Amino acid sequence: MAFRVVRSARFLSSASGGDGAAKLWGGRFTGSVDPLMEKFNASIGFDKRMWREDIEGSKAYAETLERCGLLTKHEVSEIKRGLDLVAEEWKTPSGLALKGSDEDIHTANERRLTEIIGAGIAGKLHTGRSRNDQVATDVRLWLRNQIDELRKDLVQLLQTTVSRARHEAHILMPGYTHLQPAQPIRWSHWLLAHASAWERDLDRLERVRQSVNVMPLGSGAIAGHSFFSPADRQWLAKRLNFDKVSSNSMDATSDRDFIAEFIFWASMTGIHLARWSEDVIIYATKEFGYVGLSDAYSTGSSLMPQKKNPDASELLRGKSGRNIGNLITVMTMLKGLPMTYNKDLQEDKEPLFDCVDTMRGCLPIAAGVMATLTCRPEKMQKSLSGDMLATDLADYLVRRGVPFRETHHVAGRAVRLADEKGVELTKLTFEDLKPLHKAFESDVIKVWDFNNSVESRNAEGSTSLRAVLEQCDKLEARLKRAA
């Protein structure tokens, strides 16, 4: 059998019959360029925000080329002068004037530099450098700067929280499990519970910074660098304040772990903000009434002035989905990619940028909500009900040697007794309790005190005043280390 060879080219030209694939598809172009493809392919629309880091990296790179003898002192000086002028143009309100061929930030900056200082010198800047290692370097520099800002934002939230916790440590409130009142706690203990999660976020952010702060520059397109001596990358890394250099040039150009790690950080921090916001939204309901949101972070209604919608907290809760979605975007993109650079990797930047923007929005808003939240101790106190002290009654017996499981049953019987008598548990007298267990003595009624209850929990991390202030001390010390 003879195969009928139908080359696409012929196939296309024969499409004049009216039913060919080319016509169906639209025949957008006659020449070799599909205008849609240019837009599809270009990254300048989003990667231009790294202009500063691209220029910073190029200056340091030029200096290293001088070290290798590939550029003269004069050439480096010209390149730096030119790059400074490019930077000036970026700083104007409208930014650098882009041309159609500027498909990414690297081409744009090099094109403009060439216009300013001429191709003779500008054409040497990229010696041994490829866009593969250049973009990886730019993203790391840019993200490192953003992480430093985010760390400040997170520290501010933590400082605001611990400051409140210290000042308001005397306020008691019901502690919940399953959203059912369980045991009395300090309001500050609740604040510090959330701060503990954010402190882990701070630890994680500092670890992410280490993962980010590795220099891929000098890896070339894939196989490494032909002109650097073994030591040059270390010198360049120090020049750009990187902690270390990447270990393998193929990996270096296709590694996006640091982006996934950062987005995971954002996801976890976002989840913590969402959990805290859920608490705030519930505590701010008319029915709970424990906290009031500042007007600055809620919207009212001229029609229903008593209605104050906790918009800020709802957005903080809702935006948690965004980070997690971005994590999936990046992970799905990475899954199954062959080594080394593939164009798919260009899809890493928009989710990264969105996470950075989201968190730089969320953290200051969270700090603002935290600082301005009204606390209503009288409402909280009113919600402390006697049966929340049943555990304390059991603990009383434990202290007198009764096995824990038995004390549990005795306390249960006391609660039922109060119920039968139609009184609060705390109204039971020594005489009421005596028949329930021989270990009860007259001092048992001291159990009926929410403050005593809270104070009795004095182990590290517990809700007694001492333990809460100890938490404040430790957290403040931690924050000092971060600042």
Catalytic residues: 178, 301
Compare residues 115 and 449 and give the one whose CB is closer to a copy of itself. Answer: 449
Compare residues 9 and 438 and give the one whose CB is closer to a copy of itself. Answer: 9
Compare residues 50 and 259 and give the one whose CB is closer to a copy of itself. Answer: 259
- From the CB of 132, what's the least distance to a copy of itself, in Å? 7
**Residue 139, both tokens:** 């993203």
Compare residues 287 and 431 and give the one whose CB is closer to a copy of itself. Answer: 287
For CA atoms 95, 97, 100, 103, give the dihedral sign: negative
**CA atoms of 84 and 476, how far apart (whole Å):** 41
Contact yes or no for 56/90 (Cβ under 8 A): no
**CA atoms of 259 and 367, how far apart (whole Å):** 25
**Burial class, 420, CB count within 10 angstroms (exposed 0-12 / middle 13-18 / buried 19+):** exposed
Orientation angle between helical segments 349-372 and 311-318, nearest 10 degrees = 150
**Residue 131, both tokens:** 């866009």
Compare residues 61 and 90 and give the one whose CB is closer to a copy of itself. Answer: 61
- From the CB of 408, what's the least distance to a copy of itself, in Å? 5
Strands 214-215, 244-245: pairing kind: parallel
Compare residues 50 and 425 and give the one whose CB is closer to a copy of itself. Answer: 425
DSSP letter string, 91-129: HSTT-S---TT--SHHHHHHHHHHHHH-HHHHTTTTTT-
- From the CB of 139, what's the least distance to a copy of itself, in Å? 16
- From the CB of 478, what's the least distance to a copy of itself, in Å? 9
Compare residues 38 and 441 and give the one whose CB is closer to a copy of itself. Answer: 38
Strands (DSSP E) contained in 187-228 are: 214-215
**What number of other Cβ atoms are within 10 A of residue 58's Cβ?**
25
Compare residues 92 and 405 and give the one whose CB is closer to a copy of itself. Answer: 405
CA 370-375-378 angle, to 5 degrees, is: 170
- From the CB of 311, what's the least distance to a copy of itself, in Å? 5
In angstroms, the Cα distances linking 261 to 50, 265, 269, 318, 355 are 20, 6, 12, 21, 12
Contact yes or no for 260/267 (Cβ under 8 A): no
- From the CB of 120, what's the least distance to a copy of itself, in Å? 6
SS3 203: helix
- From the CB of 173, what's the least distance to a copy of itself, in Å? 10
Q: Which of 200, 241, 142, 146 is nearest to 482 (CA)?
A: 200
**What number of other Cβ atoms are within 10 A of residue 11's Cβ?**
12
For residue 440, which amino acid is it? F
DSSP letter string, 313-352: HHHHHHTHHHHHHHHHHHHHHHTTPPSS--GGGGGGHHHH
- From the CB of 260, what's the least distance to a copy of itself, in Å? 6
- From the CB of 429, what's the least distance to a copy of itself, in Å? 20
In angstroms, the Cα distances linking 336 to 53, 251, 325, 329, 447 are 30, 15, 19, 14, 62
